[in-house]
Amino acid sequence: MSDLQTPPGSTDKTYTVTVHVAAPGTPILQPENTEAQQSGFGHVYYSIGDGQTERGYGFSPIESGISGPGRVVRNEHRTYQNPAYSRTMQISESQYEALREFGEAGLNKNEKYFNLQYRGATNSCIDFTWGALNHAGMHRERQLPLGAQRQDKDFDGAVKPLDNIREFQRIPDPMPGSPHNREQESPLPERTLWQRMISDNAVPPDDVTEPSRLAAAPAAAERKPFDDAVLNQLYAALQNGDSRALDQIGQQFNQSEEGIRLAERSAQLLVEQHAAVQREYDQAPALVRG
């Protein structure tokens, strides 16, 4: 989605924003690596362009987990491969500057616009991206009775990454009819059962509508959806929107062997990404850096 170029010789700039939704399991490829990592929980982030340069911003925990100190990461639109959904909209210069200002503040660890304490259910990459859009005056619209519409100026997104696709589609085009307005979808990557649970809509209950299963309906209603106790706790917390329970589950996961291994891999990935971005920045002409 980075091929939006201003025609050669033109003095007018074309400003755009692209919102990206990556599903769990999406490959993450650093420029210096030949083997891709995978997104564990999915990701939502955005990039902006002026027809010559595209820069991106996303929010992640410093150490892998559901809660803890967070950081804004630059140019993830270059490392996440084939996200499930991307939407590009042409915007005004003032909207471009607002989106740039929001992202750069976070990169500089300035919490003027966004709290950098990561909490998976209440202050995540999803909240960060919606916060940037709202800051630029790009709000989701809701359809009300009698054909009325309402802007949700404080909407901070759906909890699950893929659920935000339909919400992004509810943002009116700032410049309707622009040839730069477009959507792109990619096939979902392979995902584990728990990855589907944290990114898709609710796992459907067993079908008890057939006559042969009606007698088993009470038992089916009492049966847990998973054999694993932690997955059942996570499922219940997600369905109830219980952020406190999600934080507790995240803290327990961070202290587990699997959580520690994932944190180590995540830390290594961040170091490699920041090193690659710094090298690219150092090599760029001073005009492009601004």
pLDDT of residue 8: 55
User: Sorting pLDDT into bands at 50, 70 and 90, what band is 12?
Assistant: confident
User: Sorting pLDDT into bands at 50, 70 and 90, what band is 10?
Assistant: low
Locus of tokens 């966004």: 114
pLDDT of residue 194: 75
pLDDT of residue 219: 44
The mean of the pLDDT values for the chain is 79
Q: Of 80 and 218, which is predicted with more confidence?
A: 80
| Domains of the chain by residue range | 15-190+255-289
Rounded Cα gap, residues 14 and 64, in angstroms: 37
Arithmetic mean of pLDDT, 52-62: 94
61, pLDDT greater than 60:
yes
For the chain, the three-class secondary structure string (H helix, E strand, C coil) is: CCCCCCCCCCCCCCEEEEEEEECCCCEECCCCCCCCEECCCCEEEEEEECCCCEEEEEEEECCCCCEEEEEEEECHHHCECCCCEEEEEEECHHHHHHHHHHHHHHHCCCCCCCCCEEECCCECHHHHHHHHHHHCCCCEEEECHHHCEEEECCCCCCCCHHHHHHHHCCCCCCCCCCCCCEEEECCCCCCCHHHHHHHCCCCCCCCCCCHHHHCCHHHHHHCCCCCCHHHHHHHHHHHHCCHHHHHHHHHHHHHCHHHHHHHHHHHHHHHHHHHHHHHHHHHCCHHHHC
Nearest of 3, 19, 25 to residue 187 by alpha carbon: 25
pTM for the predicted model, two decimal places: 0.69
User: Sorting pLDDT into bands at 50, 70 and 90, what band is 210?
Assistant: very low
Contacts of 187 (CB under 8 A, 6+ apart): 82
Condensed to tens digits (0 to 9), the pLDDT of residues 124-165 reads 999 999 999 999 999 999 877 767 788 889 999 998 899 999
Rounded Cα gap, residues 27 and 37, in angstroms: 6
Q: Of 74 and 196, which is predicted with more confidence?
A: 74
Strand 140-143 versus strand 43-49 pairing type: unpaired
Give how far the C-alpha of residue 263 lies from the chain's centroid of Cα atoms, to the nearest Å.
19
Locus of tokens 């944190």: 263
Q: Of 206 and 35, which is predicted with more confidence?
A: 35
User: Sorting pLDDT into bands at 50, 70 and 90, what band is 52?
Assistant: very high
116, pLDDT greater than 80:
yes
